[in-house]
Structure 1
Amino acid sequence: MRSRFTSVLAPTITRYLSLKEALGSAYMVERNVMAHLDAFLAAAGHDLDSEILEQWIKTRSQLASGVRRNWMRIVRNLCLYRRRTEPACFVPDPSKFPPHHQVLKPYIFQEAEIDRLLAETGQLRPANRSPLRRQNVLLGLVLLYTAGLRRGELLRLTVADCDLLEGTLLVRESKFHKSRLLPLSGDAIRAIKVLLQERREKQLPLSPDSPLLWNDYGGSGAYSGSGFGEAIHYLLRSSGIRTATGRLPRVHDFRHTFAVHALLRWYRTGRDVQAKLPALAAYMGHVSIVSTQHYLHLVDELASIASDRFQKRYGVLIKQPNGADTRGGRS
């Protein structure tokens, strides 16, 4: 149920959100931020000014610095909209926002580590409310790694989204409000078939709209993001996989790994990587290649393969100081 706004800013918030939603924005995060701000202003009985804004953001001190900065950016955008009709209204100064938090370096899994994680799912035991825990987590891992799904996309999948005859997966209304149809790997198709057959045999929910990764917690049948994350973290700990700083890799790191390993496969097989990048962007659900580049990290093996390819194609054009070309000949 949507929040009812009651503060002095309520009319402005309502108009602003209606405008953004009419333009096609879901604005769920923004709506949540404005609901918090509206409740604070209503309790204070005060309009927004610099002092009230500072008091409000202090109530969010448990959030990371970068998240608080984003919340204040959202409020500033609201105030800029308000200023169109109320020129004297308060607008936050971005120079006083909390600093950006440090972006974590993604962890790129080795292929051997993926194999260890898949094998480790065999140690998972069924629970009363999650009788197919092992099969669910196995399929989740396979789809994260072979399809590059975001965690939310994975957990929103339904049985109807899987077309095993065509070998495709429909990812509905994801980030950027885009849907996409993905060809599945053979491993993914086999894991889905095994899971659905187990559901039939155990007479568990199998209607088209039931979650693909089903459990009996929470009423909806779908895993929560934190619940699925805990299962992955258990596998990471039991497999002894940690980053260089000792932390556990994130679920989102599988998406980064998917992109890097796609590049590695193309380089190994001599494909035209630049020509393949638009396909990778579309597969990952990106609006443009610019977004995909965020996931393309120069790991050691990728750097080595790319360097070797460059050497083979253009090494004759590069001369050493002694006059030799890079292949060892003389000019």
Structure 2
Amino acid sequence: MDKFYYSVYGPLIEKFIDLKKSLGYKYQGGSLVLVRFDRLAVLRDEPEVGITKELAQTWGTKDPNETDSTWYIRIEIVKQFSLFLCHLGYTSYIARLPKFNCSYVPYIFSEQQICALFSACDKLQLNICSSRSIVFIVPALFRLLYSTGVRISEALSLLYDDVHLQERYLILRSCKNGRDRLIPISDSLAEVLMDYLKYRDYYNGLKGNGSGHLFISREGRPCAIQTAYVWFRKILRKAGIPHGGKGLGPRLHDLRHTFSVHTLSKMATGGLDLYYSLPILSAYLGHKSISATEKYVRLTADMYPSIIENSNKLCPYLYPELLTPCDHETN
């Protein structure tokens, strides 16, 4: 295995990452941050294990072109590593996290906008000259994202053998939290995927003996996230939905947020109390805790205030009024 860590902290960084992975985290981003921290330790020729205040402050200096969120995350990761070192008996300075106020609010599509998106998808035309085009997967892919709330990475990682349309479920493997999960799908989504698979298999010469990834280009290659995003921007334009520019959205991930809000709304409208619906939605989304799902209560209240008002009449102590908390969360 290639060695990535060369400082005195190297072996302990590897143990720390192994611990994170054993707890279910993929920790790819964290590993890259710690590679950078290891390089700083090498440049400073740190003689022994134990993060000093000076080292922590040097690490915590914000780069000129660094975003607030990136700055905050890398300080948080090394803070966790410091706590790990202290637990092992190495005295290390525990840095204070900087104040970070996120201004991003998830974009929740209206039901009319979702219909417009799907209509725009269905009007796309296949360019027969491009073997790398993914245009034929777009209608099914975007319907899957909205109908299930799965992350775009999870959707594009789906394998042909993990799609069980007769039984109406999908198997998602190696998700964000390091766990596989099984999710049921609706009859209408199953029909969409059946139609897509007929075309996919016939075009690629598989004729019912499909294999590999579910969403592939005309030449059989898996679709990349960036490619899906490019088509998402095209569909937004065709649907007449404005985009605020880089970092302002709507984003592909907002289809997941929209699914969650619309699902809460439908469950509440159907008579299911939010107290019971939150755990159901949390498990379906693959969240580790209900706290990661609670933000959708406020988003639902913004779009459907009468639902929350009716819930508060039944149990006002369960859902206190939320002002405007940060929603940079990408769960």
Cα separation, 2, equivalents of 1:209 and 1:3: 34
What TM-score results when the alignment is normalised by the length of structure 1?
A: 0.79
Cα separation, 2, equivalents of 1:232 and 1:292: 25
Q: Which runs of 5+ in 1 are unaligned?
A: 315-331
- Equivalent residue for 2:309? 307
Give the 5 Å matches for 1:49-88.
Answer: 49-50=52-53, 61-84=64-87, 87-88=90-91
Residue 17 of structure 1: how far off its partner (Å): 2.6
- Which deviations, in whole Å up to 9, do the C-alpha atoms of 1:188-244 show, x marking residues without a partner? 212211221112221267866511111279xx9322222212211221133232379
Look up the SS of the partner of 2:166 in the other structure.
coil
- Equivalent residue for 2:202? 201
Change (3 A) 1:173 1:46: same
Cα separation, 1, equivalents of 2:242 and 2:252: 12
- Equivalent residue for 1:151? 152
Cα separation, 2, equivalents of 1:61 and 1:155: 34
Q: Which runs of 5+ in 2 are unaligned?
A: 316-331
- Letter of the 2:270 partner, please give it: T
Look up the SS of the partner of 1:182 in the other structure.
strand
Change (3 A) 1:157 1:207: farther
- Which deviations, in whole Å up to 9, do the C-alpha atoms of 1:34-62 show, x marking residues without a partner? 11222343345345655555555668554
Change (3 A) 1:119 1:204: farther
Contact 1:158 1:208 in 2 (8 A): no
Cα separation, 2, equivalents of 1:236 and 1:146: 18
Q: Percent identity, please.
A: 25
Look up the SS of the partner of 1:175 in the other structure.
coil
Change (3 A) 1:308 1:178: same
Residue 105 of structure 1: how far off its partner (Å): 0.9
Cα separation, 2, equivalents of 1:200 and 1:67: 42
Number of residue equivalences: 307
Contact 1:157 1:213 in 2 (8 A): yes
- Which deviations, in whole Å up to 9, do the C-alpha atoms of 1:117-146 show, x marking residues without a partner? 111112354462434x23312112111111
Residue 166 of structure 1: how far off its partner (Å): 0.7
- Equivalent residue for 1:320? none
Contact 1:3 1:35 in 2 (8 A): no
- Equivalent residue for 1:323? none
Task: Between the two structures, name the one with larger relative contact order (CA 8 Å, sep ≥ 6).
Answer: 2
Give the 5 Å matches for 1:115-264.
Answer: 115-121=115-121, 122-123=123-124, 125-126=126-127, 128-131=130-133, 133-203=134-204, 209-215=211-217, 221-242=221-242, 247-264=248-265
Q: CA RMSD in A?
A: 3.2
Which region of structure 1 is more displaced relative to structure 2, 174-183 or 36-45? 36-45
Cα separation, 1, equivalents of 2:211 and 2:202: 19
Cα separation, 2, equivalents of 1:6 and 1:245: 40
